Chains A and B, each alone.
Chain A
């Protein structure tokens, strides 16, 4: 507990607007005035930037001194400062001559510049610690850090808010540590932090995140300036469940008015693409638009969820997530591509989706798989990446949405993961032999780079497994799929949300961490809880999202919400994926695509091998699945895709192909306007509007010479297929 004097001091400092007064003797956390290396000095180094990645916290250190990143490993830092190079950095005989004092105060040359001011609190604390013998003695450990405020809504840009941090220790004591807490704005152009006073000034409208770091704890702070001056009236907006309630609540705080709901045609095209990866057929569009009744959207969602097309498309989605691709082989078979394993894996995955197997069971199946990967599909999970460390990274990204790989070299600077977690998880996978026959080995190890010893098997963030456990995957799978696991269900519902809404509640979707908070924490938690309660049923969550009013919002931004890119005030227009677009082009043109040696008529979304020969998919920017398909590097497209669509053979060679849709219509003698209408239905899922009909009537009408009619109709189809409305889901 704080002493009476220290409380008085803290109150006085607070009253004077000087946060961060230390208890005890100035600067030290110990009532006896002894400086505690871990709890007092590490924050000084962090605040001064000494252990940042750009300085001594770099992987190889700087100037011969290597500190743990942001002080994540105080014991190693103590050793580096006090023990290494025969203790030359600390001079116990003449403390003021210590290198660790002279350098940061720039009394001698220091490439990092002056980080501490001689005679000021940080430098004095350091010097006092050396005078006291430079010991690594600590009477308490940090339990938690609380930051105030965690969320703040300011009225307008220019507002300032005082940030404060309080540390709570194992001995029951607490301390205002604002002075030594590093507050960092994710967007420094939007929030200016005064590092001395810890005041945050909001420079523009929107939601901003500030990260508070004290010792190894990081806490996000949400600062909001509403995007408009007046509060919108959202009373009349439909609320079909907790999704709409949460989203409208945040829109209310941000003073954003949502776009209106879409018409039936737009909804049908959107939901059909999202759930089945296909365009609605002409017949489906006509029937849906002709059908009366308020329940028809629900009916079409259920029909799509029950369709084989859904199973094919979501098998593709999960195959990308699991990176199903033919193994490249190693050693003597290097370069050979084992398509048999990938085929088995894909077939197994398709059955799981078709039979609506719970996602928890799916995860357990792949994690616990053993056997001949040519016979046992999920065993190929262990042939996806090479080596136990890569397997640990892969598993954590897929099933936890977390990038554990940062913890390979150092404790994760932005999250809770430690090197023990990373190498302990890798140690579990080190026991698995990942050749064609996947089996548990009697031995197998990874060396912990810090201890240079065999890493002990460990459940990330939890416990080490007993040395007697050969195969730790059972414990891992049970922990992962436990309803209380905070990562598993959130990671998958966030991916489902992104697939339907165009943006994850956490972005990137494989980067869940304390310093990357969701835009809507309660919504994410609600979706995850609902997912668990409903048997980890993918269809259930997709249905829930599809039925929300939020899903039905127009992608046309209003004047009031056009600045919003994160809060779902309007739908996010999404480019069609390469496989979906390739199939859509084939469907509209009535000319099947060709994919390697696959039978004619094969759809791109059903391909097992992501490297199946196809110029179309190359142009459209497919993912090879050798790396994550969720990273920007995982797919290509962009300008190349657009140029090929405009000028290349992908469209031009197929638009008027004999036997294609257009050729058949022209041969059948259909009128140009009938052809226009049918292509609008096939490609855009709607009838042409009045202005569009008039336009095409003028372009393709009676005045056109007979010899040019076909050429003009081909131009019409080309223009339809390169327009943004076709190549996107909107």
Chain B
């Protein structure tokens, strides 16, 4: 066991410890991101971008957005800005950037023709956005202009994952594929087509050892592990329900997956088996975010439900 972690719950005692108030007619929480200090969380939905306290999940400030639908939220590498991707369905895709923690609107990036489903900060001055218009656009946040447009997906693009050291961007989409792009040239490096149904989300394994490893989740009920640099699928695990969002516990010991049955599952990436199956929210569990240090995960779901689930270890 890593000495830097202490366990304050056993595996059998994982539990939900906090939940936000929700109304039956509220829209689903589609994306979550912890603030760099871990003391608050940004959650987006059709109701807008709202900040919640952590771990109490008390609703706080709401940031007004242009977009009707919001799908992905991410803090900049330095943590001084917050970006949210979304748009007006079938019309416009937007990336809106706010100052953090002030919440002041700074920039709107909109050059795509349908909602932005996934964003990824590439540096302090560049961000990538994936849209249902099939494109991935690389932006210069200094000028607010698009720099490159990556074309290759035959249907909407749902998620992005940046491999900083390799200067590679992985995209995944409704066309059931993952695509690996060289960011310097904008060229497609690999097209990975093992999934048999649309892919929802990607997450890069934390830590520095070995080849970069990315987890993907798809309607085909699988969680697949990839080594994008060599264009290889390494392993996969089949679930008995559909996974919707994916993350990794700090250190990369487990993959965390939220599913359409409202559960949160932990997957051992080596043994490729589910090690925990925890009920989290009623309805679909669309989104998750792993706290950087306290051993818990926040799950966002249908009807604006938000719940903290303790899954194991907290950093000292």
Binds A, one of B25-33, B182-190, B229-237: B25-33
* CB–CB A64/B220 < 8 A: no
A-B contact count (CB 8 A): 60
Which residues of chain B have C-beta atoms less than 8 A from A91's C-beta? 27, 46, 68-69
Are A86 and B132 in touch, CB under 8 angstroms?
no
> In the complex, what distance in Å separates the CA atom of A133 from the CA atom of B71?
20
**Interface hits, B78-118 → A, CB 8 Å:** 89-91, 115, 117
Bound-complex Cα distance A492 to B89 (A): 54
CB-CB contacts of A101-133 with B at 8 A, as 1s and 0s? 011000011000000000000000000000011
Of A92, A102, A135, which contacts B46 at CB under 8 A?
Answer: A92
Nearest-Cβ distance from residue A1 to partner chain B, whole angstroms: 29
**Cα A92 to Cα B286 with chains together (Å):** 16
Chain B residues whose C-beta falls within 8 Å of the C-beta of A64 in the assembled complex: 132, 155-156, 174
Contact residues in A for B48 (Cβ distance below 8 Å): 93
Tell me which residues across on chain A come within 8 A of B221, comparing CB atoms: 452
- Residues of B in contact with A, size category: 20 to 34
Q: Indicate if B171 sits at the interface (CB-CB under 8 A).
A: no
- In the complex, residue of chain B having the shortest beta-carbon distance to the beta carbon of A99: B89
Contact across chains for A93 and B46 when beta carbons are under 8 A apart: yes
User: Across the interface, do A88 and B284 meet the contact criterion of CB distance under 8 Å?
Assistant: no
- Quick one: which of B28, B90, B132, B220 contacts A87, CB cutoff 8 A? B28
Return the contact of B90 from the options A83, A93, A99, A135 (Cβ within 8 A). A99
Q: Do A133 and B69 touch across chains, with their CB atoms under 8 A apart?
A: no
Residue numbers in B under 8 Å from A514 (CB-CB): none
Q: Does B260 contact A (CB under 8 A)?
A: yes
Residues on B with C-beta less than 8 A from A249 are none
A133-B89 contact given A97-B68, A452-B220, CB 8 Å threshold: no
A164 at the interface (CB under 8 A from B): no
A93 touches B132 (CB 8 A): no
Instruction: State the CA gap A481–B152 with chains docked (Å).
Output: 55
> Given A64-B132, A94-B68: A87 and B46 within 8 A (CB)?
yes
Q: Chain B, 190-221, contact with A by CB distance < 8 Å: what is the 0/1 string?
A: 00000000000000000000000000000011
B27, A92: Cβ atoms closer than 8 Å: yes
Q: Is the interface of A mostly helix, strand, loop or mixed?
A: loop
Contacting A at CB under 8 A, from B168-189, are 174
Q: Is A89 an interface residue (CB 8 A)?
A: yes
Query: Is B13's beta carbon under 8 Å from chain A?
Result: no
- Whether B117 pairs with A109 at a CB distance below 8 angstroms is no
B126 at the interface (CB under 8 A from A): no
Contact B90–A109 (Cβ < 8 Å): yes
**With the chains together, A81 CA to B161 CA distance in Å?**
27
Smallest Cβ distance from B144 to chain A, in angstroms? 25
Question: Are A92 and B90 neighbours in the complex by a CB distance under 8 Å?
Answer: no
B24 in the interface, Cβ–Cβ < 8 Å? yes
Is B20 at the interface (CB under 8 A from chain A)? Answer: no
Q: A83-B260, A99-B90 are in contact. Are A92 and B26 (CB under 8 A)?
A: yes
Contact of A86 among B91, B117, B155 (CB under 8 A): B117
- In the assembled complex, B227 has its CB within 8 A of some CB on chain A: no
- Among B26, B47, B68, chain A packs the most CB atoms within 10 A around the CB of B68
Chain A positions within 8 Å of B68 at CB level:
91, 93-94, 97
Given A64-B132, A103-B90, A94 contacting B46 (CB threshold 8 A): yes
Q: A85 within 8 Å of B by Cβ? A: yes
Which residues from A are CB-within-8-Å of B89?
A: 88-89, 99, 102
A435 to B91, CA, bound (A): 56
List, in ascending order, chain B residues with CB within 8 A of A93's CB. Answer: 26-27, 45-48, 68
Residues 57-98 of chain A: 1 if any B CB is under 8 Å from the residue's CB, otherwise 0?
000000010000000000000000001011111011110010
CB <8 Å contact, B115 and A88: yes
A183-224 vs B, CB cutoff 8 Å, 1 = contact: the mask equals 000000000000000000000000000000000000000000
Q: Which of A85, A102, A135, A453 has its CB near the most chain B CB atoms (within 10 A)?
A: A85
In whole Å, how far is B135's beta carbon from the nearest beta carbon of chain A? Answer: 15
Contact B90 A86 (CB under 8 A): no
Question: Once the chains bind, are A86 and B24 in contact (CB under 8 Å)?
Answer: no
When the two chains form their complex, are residues A92 and B25 in contact, meaning their CB atoms are under 8 A apart?
Answer: yes
Query: How long is the Cα–Cα vector from A133 to B240 in the complex, in angstroms?
Result: 28
Contact with B along A259-276 (1 / 0, CB 8 A): 000000000000000000
Chain B 1-33 interface mask (CB, 8 Å, partner A; 1/0): 000000000000000000000001111101000
**With contacts A88-B69, A91-B69, A94-B68 known, is A83 near B26, CB below 8 A?**
no
Q: Judging by beta carbons under 8 Å apart, are A133 and B25 in contact?
A: yes
- A86, A102, A134, A453: the one contacting B30 at CB < 8 Å is A86
**What residues on B are CB-neighbors of A87 within 8 Å?**
27-28, 30, 46, 286
Contact A108 B91 (CB under 8 A): yes
Q: Select from chain B the residue with minimum beta-carbon distance to A95.
A: B25
Q: List 17 A-B contacts (CB under 8 A).
A: A83-B284, A86-B28, A86-B117, A87-B28, A87-B46, A88-B115, A89-B89, A91-B46, A91-B69, A94-B68, A97-B68, A102-B90, A108-B90, A108-B91, A109-B90, A134-B25, A453-B240
Residues of A within 8 A of B (CB): 64, 83, 85-89, 91-94, 97, 99, 102-103, 108-109, 132-135, 452-453
15 new A-B contacts, CB < 8 A, other than A99-B89, A103-B90, are A83-B284, A85-B117, A86-B30, A86-B71, A87-B28, A88-B69, A88-B89, A91-B46, A91-B68, A91-B69, A92-B25, A93-B26, A94-B68, A134-B25, A135-B24
- Nearest 5 Cβ contacts at the A-B interface: A133-B25, A92-B27, A93-B46, A99-B89, A86-B30
